[in-house]
Amino acid sequence: MKAIVIGGGIIGLSSAYYLQESGWDVTVIDKGDFSNNCSYGNLGMIVPSHFVPLAAPGIVSQGIRWMFNSKSPFYVKPALSRQLIGWGLKFMKSANAQHVAASALPLRDINIFSRSLYTDLAQQEGFKFGLERKGIIMYYKTAAVGEEEAHMAHQANDMGLDAVVLDKAALQQLEPQLEMDVLGGVHYRCDGHLYPNDLMGQLIAYLQQKQVQFLPDKEVTAVKTNGQKVTAVVTGSETHTADLFVLATGSWTPAVARLAGAAVPMMPGKGYSVTLESPTVNLNIPAILCEARVAMTPMGNRLRYGGTMEVAPVNENVNMNRVAGIVDSIQHYFTNLPIKMPEKTAVWSGCRPCSPDGLPYIGYLPGYQNFLLGSGHAMMGLSLGPATGKLLTELANQQKTSIDIRAFSPARFR
């Protein structure tokens, strides 16, 4: 049986990995050259702690205030776009306490499942991608945010996750090199991190050794169908047939889905990152700066930092004001880190695929029996990559899925 995976990011490669492992003949098609997508420039975090979706109470009102600040971490670019308006209305409808409560366990379960798959992968020959289980520390500077984070930590513990609230003195023991200006933090010891650049390169090399075919620079321009089945995808003058198709094209998912007559509510959310080589002072444990919504990860002898969520059509513009906001924020938390305003050429940017309710799409594209969808993971794409690929493979093989995926149904907005 032949499978075609459309998309060469972590979701696509993970799908190819598990499909090939279970006996499928796999081809991966990508509109780029497999060397630069969101799976490379992200912060490399594996986050069972992230059981609250992007669509959460307060984010709408906060986002409106942030729209008037050029350095803010969250921004929705106003536009008379049917796609944006439809997404925005669904987002606002989802941003409530009931949705957050219903999402917590599914997000916890899929993150823990993915973490276990990463552990298995790291033990295989040919894979050495800097996987560590040091956790992640959520730093806060104000008492109000500290109270919120303590509540979240209590909820995490109730869900079986390992989280502990620490004062500044305890944080200083974990990070003796840092000069920190914070009130406290929460150490989510359940989390982990890795170096995504090594992971992606090693996955591609492994799959090539297993005779998985890679077709770079092939943008899908048409999808051929027969009833409830996709029969082929067209890339320019070439037609590619298969028994199974997996759509894992990140922020380009809605455009490809439309070729098959399907609607997938999604908007790109641009983020930025910068990687420092051999900084004189580095973190020991990955960090998230709560008020600033900035993330930082030590990756061997590197330090990567990044943030922002710009909801707007796909584009390659780099807004240096928002980069300045990231840099300024870090300096307000850690005064001795060697982080200065980078050159524009040193800034990586990528568009994360954001569903309106902050949950990924995992399952069959509505109306089709052989067209699987894995997308919409927002900032958790790297964290949830292996789990998504494994779950899609289980569906393809008509097996019972390892976890309950009803919350991630691609048909939930129909």
Other beta carbons within 10 Å of 161: 19
Identify the pLDDT of residue 53. 86
Q: Is the pLDDT of residue 284 over 80?
A: yes
Q: Is the pLDDT of residue 70 over 70?
A: no
Query: CATH number of 2-408: 3.50.50.60, 3.30.70.20, 3.90.420.10, 3.40.50.300?
Result: 3.50.50.60
pTM (2 d.p.):
0.95
Sign of the torsion formed by the C-alpha atoms of 166, 167, 173 and 178? positive
Identify the pLDDT of residue 64. 63
Identify the pLDDT of residue 412. 96
How many helical (H) and strand (E) elements, i.e. helices and strands, does the chain have?
Answer: 11, 20
Tens-place pLDDT, residues 225-271: 999 999 999 999 999 999 999 999 999 999 999 999 999 999 999 99
Q: Which pLDDT band, with edges at 50, 70 and 90, does 63 fall under?
A: low
Tens-place pLDDT, residues 33-58: 998 888 899 999 999 999 988 877 66
Contact residues for 315 (Cβ-Cβ < 8 A; gap 6+): 270, 351
DSSP-derived letter for residue 31 is S
CA-to-CA distance for 155 and 186, rounded, in angstroms? 12
Q: Is the pLDDT of residue 18 over 80?
A: yes
Identify the pLDDT of residue 180. 97
Domain boundaries of the chain, sorted by first residue: 2-408
Identify the pLDDT of residue 60. 65
Identify the pLDDT of residue 301. 95
Tokens at 258, concatenated: 């439309």
User: Is 103 within 8 Å of 51 (Cβ atoms)?
Assistant: yes
Q: Is the pLDDT of residue 83 over 80?
A: yes
Tens-place pLDDT, residues 167-198: 999 999 999 999 999 999 999 999 999 999 99
DSSP letters spanning 301-318: TEEEEEEEEEESSS----
pLDDT above 70 as % of the chain: 97
Tens-place pLDDT, residues 109-133: 999 999 999 999 999 999 999 999 9
CA-to-CA distance for 49 and 104, rounded, in angstroms? 10
Tens-place pLDDT, residues 379-394: 999 999 999 999 999 9
